[in-house]
Amino acid sequence: MKRVSGIMVVAGALLLPHAQVQAADDGRLLASGCFQCHGTAGVKGGFGSIAGIGKADMLNKLNDFRLKAAGSNIMVPHARGYTNEQLALIADYFARQPKP
| Cβ–Cβ under 8 Å, residues 58 and 17 | no
Identify the three-state secondary structure at position 76: helix
Give mean pLDDT, residues 26-47.
Answer: 92
Rounded-to-integer distance, Cα 88 and Cα 35, Å: 17
pLDDT beyond 90 at 92: yes
* Helix, strand, coil percent values for the chain (each to nearest 5): 70, 0, 30
Q: What is the pTM of this model?
A: 0.74
pLDDT digits (tens, 9 = 90+) for 40-60: 899 989 998 999 999 999 999
Mean pLDDT of the chain: 83
Q: Which domains does the chain have, with CATH numbers?
A: 2-95 (1.10.760.10)
